[in-house]
């Protein structure tokens, strides 16, 4: 297969850790997402976040006086554990959890799926996902999270407005307002990831992890109930 054709078949997934491990691993959710991935004749570059378990570890690290750098390292270990759980349910997956973008980009040439956790202290798994998309030439990144799209403020607040479509520039501006750049914090998408996606013109689709139909449609480039950023 030509390199250009291969790139068009690679979908990048950034899966929030809270979807797979909201405190304890959600085996049913892991199986549902894995089953969807297994059913599609595409290649997948996947990153998995740390979720509630990682945030609990980071909170404990800070109480012990551990630096932000090493708190990030602790969170990365949790993301890798979550990634291993998903990898175990996937068909044709690279057998290891890659530690570098180069390793992941090389592996996607030989396997249907590559599943990563965090890689770089200070960079969330969203940023890692965009870096991996750049490395392998993927043109679409589907962010699977615990909200059903992008809002102008916390969706729990009165008057919160959901965006169906956004430009990459507008999304990057919004991300800057909510990104604290601290280990274990929770926000829709981090600012570095948004800026990286903007520079490489990578489409981002943000969908709820509980809406499998929207996840599938986002992967296939069809209409869904989340937010499309391009």
Domains and CATH numbers, the chain: 3-229 (3.40.1160.10)
Its pTM stands at 0.90
pLDDT digits (tens, 9 = 90+) for 7-64: 458 999 999 999 999 989 999 999 999 999 999 999 999 999 998 888 899 999 999 9
Distance CA 216, CA 21 (A): 21
Phi, psi (rounded to 5 degrees) for 226? -95, -145
pLDDT digits (tens, 9 = 90+) for 204-220: 999 999 999 999 999 99
Phi, psi (rounded to 5 degrees) for 93? -90, 145
Query: Of 15, 191, 190, which Cα lies nearest the Cα of 90?
Result: 15
Distance CA 155, CA 152 (A): 8
pLDDT digits (tens, 9 = 90+) for 82-113: 999 999 999 999 999 999 999 999 999 999 99
């Amino acid at each position: 297969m030509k390199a250009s054709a291969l790139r068009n078949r690679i979908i990048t997934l950034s899966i929030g850790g809270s979807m797979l491990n909201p405190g304890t691993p959600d085996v049913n959710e892991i199986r549902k997402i894995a089953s969807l991935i297994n059913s599609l004749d595409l290649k997948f570059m996947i990153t998995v976040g740390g979720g509630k378990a990682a945030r609990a570890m980071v909170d404990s690290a800070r109480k012990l006086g551990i630096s932000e750098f090493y708190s990030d390292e602790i969170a990365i270990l949790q993301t890798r554990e979550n990634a291993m759980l998903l990898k175990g349910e996937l068909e044709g997956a690279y057998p290891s959890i890659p530690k570098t973008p180069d390793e992941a980009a090389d592996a996607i040439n030989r396997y249907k799926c590559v599943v990563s956790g965090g890689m770089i202290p200070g960079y969330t798994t969203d940023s890692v996902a965009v870096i991996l998309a750049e490395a392998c030439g993927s043109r679409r990144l589907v962010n699977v999270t615990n909200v059903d799209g992008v809002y102008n403020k916390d969706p729990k607040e009165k008057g919160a407005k959901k965006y169906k479509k956004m430009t990459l520039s507008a999304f990057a501006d919004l991300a800057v307002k909510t990104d604290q750049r601290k280990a274990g914090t929770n926000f829709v998408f981090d600012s570095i990831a948004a800026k990286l996606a903007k520079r490489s013109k990578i489409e981002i689709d943000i969908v709820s992890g509980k809406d499998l139909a929207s996840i599938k449609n986002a992967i296939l480039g069809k209409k869904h109930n989340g937010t499309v950023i391009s």
